Amino acid sequence: MFILDSESQEDVVLHLEDDSAQSFLDVVEDTLSRGFFIDQEHSRKARRIIRKLSELSDKLPSSLFIAGVTGREEYPRFGGGFADVFRATYKDKPVALKHTRHLSRAADSRHIRLKLCREALVWRDLHHPHILPFLGIDQDSFSSSLCLVSSWMEQGTVLKYLKGHGHANVDKLLFEIAQGLQYLHSRNVVHGDLRGANILINEDWSACLADFGLAEFSDDTMDSSPNHAGNLLWMAPELIDPERFGLEFARTPASDVYAFGCVCIELYTGRAPFSELSQAGALLRIINGERPARPSGTTPAMSDTLWQNVTSFWKQDPTARPVAQVVVQNMVWPVLSQEHEGDADDAQE
């Protein structure tokens, strides 16, 4: 597709509006879905153009929309920063509808819609056993409003699951979370909000990463106004105070790895990192290089191997943290489980 190699032609495309923009998006999306872009670089450029044109034209590829969602419950099951989650039915299976709340200011409503569309365009390309499946966009359940549709996870969050079932398989779950994170990074996607509340348990009792509202492409330069939202207690120090590190605010694979270290502590303790402190006190410690203490009094106890891994995920220097592939290699849960068994044998002796 010659247009992908021409900046001038790309500029023309990005000025398309209304039906012209819709037609172009649908053609490129169809070309991608048929696998006609044999060259990976062209495929990447095509997806980038779709993201850019979607944001500028307020349009989305038609193939992302689905019909037939029924039985939407009257009240939401959960609520987040800008959206509520309703339960409904699609193809005789329960699904979750992520619906943005109505905002009085038109500018705010457009911003939230763009945020939802951006999340859909990131999420729709992610297919992995430890990523929550994206089913499509529903525009019928709510008048003049879009919903992101995903599989319904009856077990809820990983925190709820561990609270109800105990922590015997916590290392297995951490290993699965690490695998999901490695997959994201292999696709040049940064999650941006990794924490227990955004990790769900599927019907196979495995962990799935969810909520890609802050996800970004690590090779994407289109966003000139970065979103500083997020949960601060899981944020890497360079995100809290970028100037101190001589950086601009940008979520990166390294900041995801830092957040994963926080998730390790969170899943063992059931609490957010530095939860005993005020937010201001916690942020000051994080910026100064202090980290939460090793969990104590938990069953099972955090192994020496895992604790050593966590301290490497938390390095103050982002470049010193391991990449996700190394995280997975060091998180092989059968090895950690054997270490737990050894600890138990020592205790019995």
The pLDDT value recorded for residue 107 is: 59
Rounded Cα distance between 191 and 259, Å, is: 10
Rounded Cα distance between 175 and 104, Å, is: 43
Q: Name the 3-class secondary structure at 74.
A: coil
Instruction: Give the phi and the psi of residue 285 in degrees, each rounded to 5.
Output: -65, -40
The pLDDT value recorded for residue 326 is: 96
Domain limits, CATH 3.30.200.20, in the chain:
78-151
Q: Are 250 and 275 in contact (CB under 8 A)?
A: no
The pLDDT value recorded for residue 215 is: 85
Candidates 293, 318, 292; CA nearest to 190 is 318
Query: Cis ω on the peptide bond leading into residue 273 (within 30° of 0)?
Result: no
Domain limits, CATH 1.10.510.10, in the chain:
158-348
The length of the chain, given as a count of residues: 349
Alpha helices by DSSP H, listed for the chain, are 7-13, 18-33, 40-57, 106-123, 158-165, 170-186, 237-240, 253-269, 279-287, 304-313, 324-330, 333-348
Name the pTM for this structure. 0.89
Candidates 261, 174, 253; CA nearest to 219 is 253
Residue tagged 């402190």 (tokens): 277
Residues 6+ apart with CB under 8 A from 92: none
Q: Looking at domain 78-151, which of 2.40.128.130, 1.10.150.650, 3.30.428.10, 3.30.200.20 is its CATH number?
A: 3.30.200.20
Strand pairing partners for 100?
83
Burial class (CB in 10 A: 0-12, 13-18, 19+), 113: middle
| pLDDT tens track, the chain, 349 positions | 556 667 778 889 999 999 999 999 999 999 988 877 667 788 888 899 999 999 999 999 999 999 999 999 999 998 876 789 999 999 999 999 999 877 656 556 777 888 889 999 999 999 999 999 999 999 999 987 899 999 999 999 999 999 999 999 999 999 999 999 999 999 999 999 999 999 999 999 999 999 998 888 776 644 444 555 558 999 999 999 999 999 999 999 999 999 999 999 999 999 999 999 999 999 999 999 999 999 998 889 999 999 999 999 999 999 999 999 999 999 866 555 555 555 544 444 4
Rounded Cα distance between 198 and 181, Å, is: 12
The two tokens of residue 286 are 């994080």
Candidates 263, 221, 224, 257; CA nearest to 239 is 257
Rounded Cα distance between 16 and 214, Å, is: 27
How many CA atoms lie within 13 Å of 331's alpha carbon, on the beta-carbon side? 28
The pLDDT value recorded for residue 222 is: 47
Rounded Cα distance between 167 and 161, Å, is: 9
Rounded Cα distance between 100 and 98, Å, is: 7
Residues 6+ apart with CB under 8 A from 217: 48, 51, 122, 188, 189, 190
Strand pairing partners for 99?
84, 147
CATH for 158-348 is 1.10.510.10
The two tokens of residue 263 are 């998730």
Rounded Cα distance between 177 and 126, Å, is: 15
